[in-house]
Amino acid sequence: MRIKKILSFALAVALFCATPVFFTGCGDRTEVLKVYNCGEYIADGSYDSVDVVSAFEEWYEEKTGKPIRVEYSVFDTNETMYTQIANKRADYDLICPSDYTVQKLRTNNLLLPINDENFDEIWAHAFEDEDPTAYGLQEEDEITHKNIMNSALMELVETYDEGWTKGGKIYSVPYMWGTFGLLYDREKIEKAGGSVEDMTTWKTLFEDDYTGMKYMKNSVRDAYASANIYYYSDELSRLSNGFTDYNEEYKKLLSQCMNFPNDETIKSAEETLKSQKKYLYAYESDEGKEDLMNGKSNAALGFVWSCDAGYVIGMEENLNLWYSVPKEGTNVWVDNWCIPKYAGNVTAAQYFISFVNTYNIAYENMAWVGSATPVRQVADDFAYEIENPRSLLEYEYYEAEIAEHGEEYAEEHYDEIIATAHADWAKMVETEDEALADYVYFLDKYLESHDNCTDEEDCDCDWHAYARMYVEAIYPPDSHVERSAIMTDFAEKNTDVVRMFTRVKAA
């Protein structure tokens, strides 16, 4: 049985009762944790979420008996953050760089190992009250930083932090991950005489179809990578037997398309991107996803990161929006917690890393941010709940019985409780009860197709197809990961790639 795990009652009460604490500006670094994260990238109390930073302050004091104040600041790009660390020697205790920037920070000796002699003890202390079975482990298992992570993801992480799979020091702990692909408005695509099939190939973005209806991302790395995946698509197809067998040879070329720029690949990207321009509606930095959501522009599709697709689809304002990852391949991006060289409070940083990987907090952040936590079971459960909304009612009924009659009683009467939940669910569906909105994403689609919907994993109703697509946007399935590569630092070739992109945009 799988049941929704929500913020534990004990933690909720602790937060509710928290007394505000006022701080003087004293400079004791053991009582301050400086976190430098990307913007809008942690649950902050809005939309009924937990304010994770405040929750950490409470939890840390409970755990260690010492007060802590989090100084939380945000950056816009990896490059801005890198400059702060490398040139200004900022004393942040935690930063959240992307994969290729972790590599660059490591190359330039700007990170401390996370698993120093104290880390295992701190992690164990953080997880001492956690239930191993909630993480998909056996009851007698110890919860470690390695055995709760998604193993397909950690194999990719090996490209910039080999300690995860090969042992030894680790310099990063994944926080969120996803892919890049196409976001499209299905209704607009069909009105234009196109089809969903067109969205399964990068050709749609780079050739003359849908002229004047396409957004391209104003991001040098993503433009370079996607242009070269398109440019080398015949060769990628040959190696993968027509995109049916994503083998090592295919993956090697895919990685070369995105990484290791040379004169030839810079030229191929430049030609591809220049010829693409005449087919575009616009280059965009962030507004494209909103435009697609509002339907205010002529655009019908665009290049997006999965987290942005997950965000706009999850807003439920436009239920014609779909996300797809083209068959030729994608990038898996990973954002990670790292401890920079000039950190002033490594211990608190290690506690924070442990805390954000505990079940409830990882769940809160995944739900709020709209992309995948690396904690395997949390992401699996979250995905399950979206595709099986009735399970949320089951959970509620079960918890209510525990509260009223105790755990033993609830366990004994499990089947009855679940049957009652199912009967009440059927009634809610029958009467189109407004309360359904609390459980079901994309309710409009649900109501249209609910007559045939079985609320089972293999249900083929419209709503389930849409919910599965949404889950794929917020949590990359194996079928996306198997045709992906991680980006690496361009090193001394970076300037050439940036100049190429400047020429493209000026052309």
Q: How far apart are CB 453 and Zn ion at their closest, in Å?
A: 3
**Which is closer to Zn ion, CB of 70 or CB of 453?**
453
CB nearer to Zn ion: give 48 or 457.
457
Q: Which of 121/456 has CB closer to Zn ion?
A: 456
Nearer to Zn ion, 207 or 448 (CB): 448
Give CA–CA dist 265/268, Å, rounded.
5
Residue 208's Cβ-count burial label (10 Å; 0-12, 13-18, 19+) is exposed
- Which residue blocks in 370-389 are alpha helix, DSSP H? 376-387
| Residue 319 main-chain phi, psi, to 5 deg | -85, 20
Minimum Å gap between C-beta 312 and Zn ion is 23
Amino acid letter at 222? D
Within positions 306 to 335, which residues make up the interface with Zn ion, using CB under 5 A?
none
Residue among 297, 331, 319, 323 at smallest CA distance from 443: 319
> 18: which 2 tokens?
């928290």
Which 8-state DSSP code applies to residue 328?
Answer: T
Output 257 or 467, the one with its CB closest to Zn ion. Answer: 467
CA 122/CA 317 separation, integer angstroms:
43
**Nearest distance from residue 443's CB to Zn ion, in Å?**
13
- Amino acid at position 468, single letter: R
Residues 176-205, one symbol each (x = binds Zn ion by CB under 5 A, - = not), give ------------------------------
Q: Where in 461-490 is the site for Zn ion (CB under 5 A)?
A: 461, 464
114 within 8 A of 102, measured Cβ to Cβ: no
440 binds Zn ion (CB under 5 A): no
The whole-angstrom separation of Cα 263 and Cα 243 is 27
Least gap, CB of 464 to Zn ion (angstroms): 4
CB of 455 to Zn ion, least distance (A): 6
- Dihedral of alpha carbons 375, 377, 378, 382, sign: positive
- What is the distance between the alpha carbons of residues 191 and 202, in angstroms, rounded to a whole number? 20
Min dist. Cβ of residue 239 to Zn ion (A):
37
Give the 3-state secondary structure of residue 178. Answer: strand
In what helix (H) or strand (E) does residue 174 lie, and over which residues does it extend?
A: strand 173-178
- Dihedral of the CA atoms 25, 30, 32, 37 (nearest 10)? 150
Residue 436 or 461 having the CB closest to Zn ion: 461
The Cα 474–Cα 457 span in angstroms is 18
Per the document, the length of the chain is 507
Q: Report the distance separating Cα 473 and Cα 497, nearest Å.
A: 28
List the structure tokens of 60: 């840390």
> Within a 13 Å sphere around the CA of 159, how many CA atoms are in the beta-carbon half?
20
102 versus 461: smaller Cβ distance to Zn ion = 461
CB 459 → Zn ion: shortest distance, Å?
A: 3
With respect to Zn ion, which residue has the nearer C-beta, 156 or 453? 453
Residue closer to Zn ion by CB (options 227, 471) is 471
Closer to Zn ion by CB, 131 or 457: give it. Answer: 457
Minimal distance, residue 439 CB to Zn ion, in Å: 14
Q: Tell me the per-residue interface mask from 441 to 460 with Zn ion, x by CB under 5 A, - otherwise.
A: ------------x-----x-
Contacts of 23 (CB under 8 A, 6+ apart): 69
Size of the site for Zn ion (CB under 5 A): 4
Q: Cα–Cα distance between 444 and 432 in angstroms, integer?
A: 10
User: CB under 8 Å to 404, separation ≥6 — which residues?
Assistant: none
The position carrying tokens 């992906």 is 484
For Zn ion, the closer CB: 453 or 486: 453
CA distance 212 to 286: 18
Tell me how far, at minimum, the Cβ of 388 lies from Zn ion, in Å.
10
Alpha-carbon span 73 to 41, nearest angstrom: 11
Window 344 to 373, contacts with Zn ion (CB under 5 A)? none
How near is the Cβ of 457 to Zn ion at its closest, in Å? 10
State the minimum distance, in angstroms, from the CB of residue 363 to Zn ion: 24
Min. distance of Cβ 371 from Zn ion in angstroms? Answer: 25
- Least distance in angstroms from the C-beta of 447 to Zn ion: 12
Which string of x and - marks every residue 21-60 that binds Zn ion (by CB under 5 A)?
----------------------------------------
- Between 74 and 447, name the residue whose CB sits nearer to Zn ion: 447
Beta carbon nearer to Zn ion, 161 or 387: 387
Residue 192 corresponds to which tokens in the numbers above?
């234009």
Which residues form the interface with Zn ion (CB under 5 A)? 453, 459, 461, 464
